[in-house]
Amino acid sequence: MRRHLTTTAGLALAALTLTACGADNTPDTKPQPETPAASSPTQPDPGTGIPPEPTGAARDAYLAALEAIDPQLVADADKAIDAGRNQCSSLNGGGTDPAGTAAARFSMGGNQVSEQQAKAINQALRQTLCPK
């Protein structure tokens, strides 16, 4: 029995040694598929009509235009920017009710946007974030 275990252990060790010797240590030269870069939140999404996130003077101009309509619209500047960028997709995509969509997107925090304000928001967007 002992001889059988010794022989089996010896064969297993030999098999492992041969496997290690036969390993190909050369790097794989096959071209690797390119992985798409993660999209940055500041970059536009092609095909959706969503513009890049405004910075600097463009951001200031957009927020000032909204504040002139209703100061509550810029109570949370980041939400106002997100809503505006998304509204651009409706304006650029030819939405059927851009004023209604703007009213829904910009009515937040208990502030309800009227149809007149929604139309003014769309005009402000055309002058700042999403010109034609």
Over residues 27-57, the pLDDT tens digits come to 555 544 443 333 334 445 556 678 999 999 9
Please report whether residue 13 resides in a domain. no
Which one, of 129, 132, 130, 131, lies nearest residue 64 by Cα?
129
Residue 49 covered by a domain: no
First to last CA, the chain: 88
Give the global pTM.
0.64
Residue 22 covered by a domain: no
47 Ramachandran zone, left/alpha/beta (phi>0; psi -120 to 50): left
Nearest to 82 by CA among 60, 51, 103, 58: 51
How many structural domains are present in the chain?
1
The domain of 108 spans 56-127
Task: Assign 50 to helix, strand or coil.
Answer: strand
